[in-house]
């Protein structure tokens, strides 16, 4: 809904989201380091990384990469903007797709083995989480009767109570989006990857910075979607989000990376099963 307050919220979100995303990313690294028995970089390290990357010389394999990264960044910004504008969830889903697609195209445009393997794996990842995300949004619709975020936020009780299984299915999508084990198949967050940096291999300098910033926007967006599961009180929402994110970090450190075959073969049946079971619950019980 376009109201003045929503519009201002959205503008503020566009400006602040990278900063918040960077802080979350930094906290992520600090916590991971603590779990792994290291000291780890300071929490504000991502800012330093971005500043360093932005100041580097532009070094690209072909001109399409610039356009693809720019489109990725713009679409992530657009998705966050639309989210804080409290607009339609489905629309946000499709805007996210632009970014994912353009990122894959950028990776596929580079004639490098690592980039190609990473791009194909990224394609499978997108194939895996897209239906789950879309069907979770349909779950929101089935409970509240609308895809519109302002309407969903008006729901009196926390949606987690009516959509617990969808929350679990969405957890798969969160793991894939945040590039955490076991689904960090195409471009792992950390340095350990058998294909160098996978789909991100051929990006460096300002382009890599833009990819990183777009990734932060996506983190904010997907955490925002999770926030819809408990939108009744702000402190509870923050606790809920922290628990979810810490669970992700825990899983990341506990589990090894899977193959794409394993990912599709297991995430789809389990995810779709959870979603369908939740639909039956919603339609039958609530």
Partner 1 sequence: MNIESLSALLILLPVFMALTGFATNLTFLRAVAAGMAAVLVSASAALFINGPFAFEPSSHIAPWHSIFSLADFVLLGIMLIIGIRYKHKLISILVIGQILPLILIKFSAQKTHSFEASIAADHLSLMMIMIVCVVGSFIVLYATEYMRRHAMKMDSPPLHTGLFFFFLILFLGAMNGLLLSNNLLWMFFFWELTTLCSFFLIAHDQTDLALANALKALWMNLLGGVLFIWAIYLLHISSLPLEIHQLTKMGSFQILLLPAALLCLAAFTKSAQLPFQSWLTGAMVAPAPVSALLHSSTMVNAGVFLILKLSPIYQGTPLASYLAILGALTFIYTSAIALTQNNAKKILAYSTIGSLGLIIACAGIGTPEAYSAAMLLILFHAVAKALLFMGVGHIEHLIQSKNIEDMWGLMERFPRVSLLLVFGMISMFLPPFGALISKWMAVHAAARLPIVVIMLALGSAFTVTYWTRWAGMIVNSFNSEQNEQKIKSPLFIDIPLTVMAGLGLGLSILIIPVYWCLTLPMLPIVFPEFAVVPRSGALMENIGAFMVYPAFLIIGFTLLIMRKKRSQKSVNPVSRPYYSGLDPKDQNTPGFTDPLGNFISFRSENYYFKKHLPPERINTAVNAVALGFIILLMVASL
Tell me which residues touch partner 1 (CB under 8 A).
1-2, 57-64, 66-67, 70-71, 74, 78, 81-82, 85, 87-88, 90-91, 94-95, 97-98, 100-101, 104-105, 107-116, 119-120, 123-124, 126-127, 130-131, 134-135, 138, 141-142, 147-148, 196, 201-202, 272, 275-276, 279, 283
Please, which residue, 50 or 60, has the CB nearer to partner 1?
60
Among the listed residues 41, 203, 204, the one whose alpha carbon sits nearest the alpha carbon of residue 118: 203
How far the first Cα of the chain sits from its last, in Å, is 27
Query: Smallest distance from the beta carbon of 51 to partner 1, in angstroms?
Result: 20
Bridge partners (DSSP) of residue 88 are 148
Residues 20/216/75/236 CA torsion (nearest 10 deg): -60
Q: What's the CA gap between 173 and 126, in Å, rounded?
A: 9
Please, which residue, 245 or 260, has the CB nearer to partner 1?
260
Which residues, in sequence order, are CB contacts of 29 under 8 Å at separation 6+? Answer: 40, 41, 43, 45, 46
Please, which residue, 54 or 74, has the CB nearer to partner 1?
74
Query: Smallest distance from the beta carbon of 225 to partner 1, in angstroms?
Result: 16
Query: Smallest distance from the beta carbon of 168 to partner 1, in angstroms?
Result: 17
Query: Smallest distance from the beta carbon of 62 to partner 1, in angstroms?
Result: 4
Query: Smallest distance from the beta carbon of 93 to partner 1, in angstroms?
Result: 9
Residue with tokens 């990122």: 103
The answer to whether residues 248 and 178 touch, using CB atoms and an 8 Å cutoff, is yes
């Amino acid at each position: 809904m376009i109201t003045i307050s929503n519009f201002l919220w959205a503008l503020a979100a566009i400006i602040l989201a990278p900063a918040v995303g960077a802080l979350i990313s930094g906290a992520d690294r600090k916590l991971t380091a603590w779990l792994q028995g290291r000291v780890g970089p300071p929490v504000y390290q991502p800012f330093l990384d971005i500043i360093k990357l932005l100041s580097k010389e532009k070094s690209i394999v072909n001109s399409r990469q610039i356009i693809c990264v720019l489109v990725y960044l713009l679409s992530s910004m657009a998705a966050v903007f639309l989210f804080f504008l409290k607009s339609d969830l489905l629309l946000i889903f499709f805007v996210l797709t632009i970014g994912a697609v353009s990122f894959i195209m950028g990776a596929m445009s580079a004639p490098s083995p690592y980039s190609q393997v990473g791009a194909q794996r990224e394609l499978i990842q997108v194939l895996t989480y897209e239906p789950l995300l879309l069907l979770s949004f349909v779950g929101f619709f089935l409970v509240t009767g609308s895809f519109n975020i302002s309407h969903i936020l008006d729901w009196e009780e926390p949606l987690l109570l009516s959509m617990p299984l969808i929350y679990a299915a969405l957890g798969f999508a969160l793991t894939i989006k945040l590039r955490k084990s076991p689904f960090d198949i195409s471009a792992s967050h950390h340095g350990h990857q058998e294909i160098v940096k996978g789909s991100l291999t051929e990006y460096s300098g300002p382009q890599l910075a833009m990819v990183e910033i777009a990734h932060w926007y996506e983190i904010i967006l997907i955490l925002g979607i999770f926030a819809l599961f408990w939108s009744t009180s702000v402190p509870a929402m923050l606790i809920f989000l922290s628990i979810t994110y810490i669970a992700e970090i825990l899983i990341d450190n506990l589990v090894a990376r899977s193959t794409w075959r394993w990912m599709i073969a297991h995430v789809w049946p389990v995810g779709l099963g959870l979603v369908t079971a939740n639909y039956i619950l919603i339609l039958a019980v609530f």
